[in-house]
Amino acid sequence: MSLTVLFAASNDDWQKYSAALKTAFADARLDVALVTQAEPETVDYIIYAPSCSLRDFGPYKNTKAVLSLWAGVEKIVTNETLTMPLARMVDPGMTQSMTEWVTGHVMRYHLGMDAHIVNPSQDWIWHSNPLAQERTVCILGLGELGTAAARSLLALNFNVSGWSRSAKAVEGVTCFHGAEGLTQALGTADIVVLLLPDTAETANTLNESTLALLPKGARILNPGRGPLIDDAALIDALDSGRIAHATLDVFRVEPLPVDHPFWAHPKVTVTPHIAAATRPVTSSVEIARNIRLCEDGQPMINLVDRARGY
Ligand code: NAP
């Protein structure tokens, strides 16, 4: 029986994904009509990104699941018309991309590369770096992306700690959880990486008081979501020298407004939400796999827990 799968994302996304999705559906032995418009009651699955105009899922009465093209579901998880199962994106290509971004920027901080890359006055800046095992990288969020980044950093000999909501055991990683765990995790962190979802509970995880827990001169990487950091508190901490530098990939408003102080701040690097895009080929395989599971009567994977918000 043929399935109708509605692709509800931008036109750009359609250009990138349509061929890859068709191949993945065929490989998963799924007979699919992949469409960008359909009568709502005929739609079996929706592949969704908030870049399209669809907000009312009420008319999609026969839709079995919505599959998000994005890993972060904060723009859709509170939509009360979306009552069917919602799967977030877990994509090996995206995970690899995030691991590369995190590892690259950790190495940049670890080796103090900026001092030499931008050195217009040709200063002979000598410094001795600690070895990786003498540097603690703390990853806030030990999910798909945080755990993969932790493993990559462990392989480079960094001392890695992590923090999650529930207790976790990741081999080689000093794991903390809960409110008290955050205090312990931040207390020893030379470099902090934020890989938490954007929820009511994670808003302003780094604020005036938690920034004060970090060792003086700590560095921050935020490839998670903008609201995880209190922007004003971060700027104060950078100005006072408590925090040495921050590299931010995500912001409360994107693109980051031209007059936002992060752009001009000498201790901030802005990257334009490029840490880890969903990759069409690898993510299409995951979407097809999840639809195949549902069609076979198996539990779908990567389902969002609406109560937790991620
Ligand atoms: P995930 O697998 O759902 O992992 C989320 C982690 O955060 C889990 O370890 C979870 O704890 C922890 N967490 C959630 N709420 C918490 C709380 N209140 N206190 C402490 N820990 C909490 O998510 P993921 O796939 O790794 O993705 C993480 C985020 O990265 C996404 O939500 C998205 O915002 C962002 N992202 C950014 C880009 C980019 O290009 N910049 C790309 C992809 C994703 P438990 O393990 O206990 O559940």
CB atoms near residue 292 (< 10 Å) = 17
pLDDT bucket at 159, cuts 50 / 70 / 90? very high
Amino acid at the residue 52: C
* pLDDT tens figures, 224-245: 999 999 999 999 999 999 999 9
Q: What is the tens place of the pLDDT at every residue in 34-62?
A: 999 999 999 999 999 999 999 999 999 99
**pTM exceeding the 0.95 threshold for the entire prediction:** yes
Cα-to-centroid distance, 121 and ligand 1 (Å): 42
pLDDT digits (tens, 9 = 90+) for 49-105: 999 999 999 999 999 999 999 999 999 999 999 999 999 999 999 999 999 999 999
Contact 195 CB / ligand 1 (< 6 Å): yes
Give the pLDDT score at 1: 77
Burial class (CB in 10 A: 0-12, 13-18, 19+), 44: buried
285 lines ligand 1 (CB under 6 A): no
Chain mean pLDDT for the chain? 97
